[in-house]
Structure 1
Amino acid sequence: MAVPSPTADKSALRAEGLRRRRDYAASLTPELRDTLERRLAEVVLPHLIHAGIVGAYHPLRDEISPLPLLSLLDPGQRVGFPWFAERDSRFLWREGPATEASPWGVLQPAAEAEALAPHVVLVPLVLADRCGTRIGHGKGHYDRALAHLRESGGPVFTVGLAWDAQVSDAPLPAEPWDMKLDAIATPKEWISCG
């Protein structure tokens, strides 16, 4: 995928990435979208076999969905979703199901659901490069939550989930606080970023 020059600011890259993601998702028939999301599940599932706790997300309208993948996990594997106390707070992962509206309008677990420390986190994105640099929506929610999870001492493996059109061959700019992805998965490929 061609993106603006690496020297372009992240706001311009984010805007272009959001447009590309939106246009790509809008171009898919419901059947093709379902096929691609099931293919993503096949690409990622082998990498989750030993994950006792998986951090996931409820997708926004044009984000690729991890939900078909979650339906294939073993019954003993637990799934946590982001839970926000307030719009700008650092989120926690709480055990699903996600049934209540978050301050952002996306479904999240109930406040009483158990807080979890995922071993693997499935991360939504706007753009990512093949080295694991990720551009998200610009609020820093995942960077703060992942930094906290890693500072708490447990190992965590991050996998960015994306449509193929969201992966840049050109390097993307990164800030010192940006948390790099360990891998990126699309319906076509698994990209190790280590």
Structure 2
Amino acid sequence: MKFSRQDFRQSIRQRRNQLSEGFQHQAGRDLCQQFLSLPEVKPAQHIALYLSADGEVDTMPLIEELWRSGKHVYLPVIHPFSKGHLLFLHYTKHSPMVLNKYQIAEPKLDQTQIIPAQSLDVICTPLVGFDSAGHRLGMGGGYYDRTLAPWFKTGQGPKPIGLAHDCQHVDALPIESWDIPLPKIVTPTKVWQW
């Protein structure tokens, strides 16, 4: 039986939503340690992250550690008039937040806080699942595929890094022509590189 992308999404989301709160908390701390040891992170000053939702590995320990080390953190905001695209806004403890159409918290749109995606050093991408070849299965909106397309074509610009729980790995995913594979995915126990 061949599984569809939707089957994979449902199965993996169910798997990660069954993780206990204590496990989630520890996974977030472990992921933070793995991420901070990456060679591309040490010199990076402008790092795009995201706030965890729907059982995603907890990014708050990492965000707080990056703040402590004086790095700038940015969060994705759904572009108000360019359908399917993201903007990245500077994020601090005091950023006013709003819920987007998916009920995910994002910084309130303020043009003075926007950074062009090409000026970021690292873009951390959420994902539902990933496979042994670095293919990423997102939620299906294509936001990150569009954001990462220039990097995929030229190899220039911010370095994409996927973040996930170990249980989100599968051997092989069904892929589409527009899918952007990731060069690196970090889980609480491992750094996957291609």
- Map 1:109-120 onto structure 2 (within 5 A): 109-112=107-110, 113-117=113-117, 118-120=120-122
Partner residue, 2:32: 41
Tell me the amino acid that sits aligned with residue 131 of structure 1: A
Partner residue, 2:60: 67
Report percent identity of matched pairs.
26
Out of 66, 90, 115, the position equivalent to 1:95 is 90
Displaced runs of 4 or more, over 6 A: none
Q: What secondary structure is seen at the aligned counterpart in 2 of 1:39? A: helix
| Contact 1:94–1:116 (CA under 8 A) maintained in structure 2 | no
Q: Alpha-carbon deviations, 1:119-141, whole Å to 9, x = none?
A: 21111111101221011111111
Tell me the amino acid that sits aligned with residue 115 of structure 1: I
Alignment coverage as a number of residue pairs: 183
Compute the displacement of 1:148 (Å): 4.9
* Range 103-112 or range 148-157, more displaced: 148-157
Compute the displacement of 1:152 (Å): 9.0
Partners of 1:33 and 1:183 in 2: CA distance: 21
Compute the displacement of 1:162 (Å): 1.1
Partners of 1:86 and 1:22 in 2: CA distance: 30
For structure 2, the 5+ residue unaligned runs are none
TM-score of the pair, normalised by structure 2:
0.84
- In structure 2, the CA distance between the partners of 1:150 and 1:53, relative to structure 1 (3 Å rule), is farther
TM-score of the pair, normalised by structure 1:
0.84
The two structures, once aligned, show a CA RMSD in angstroms of: 2.3
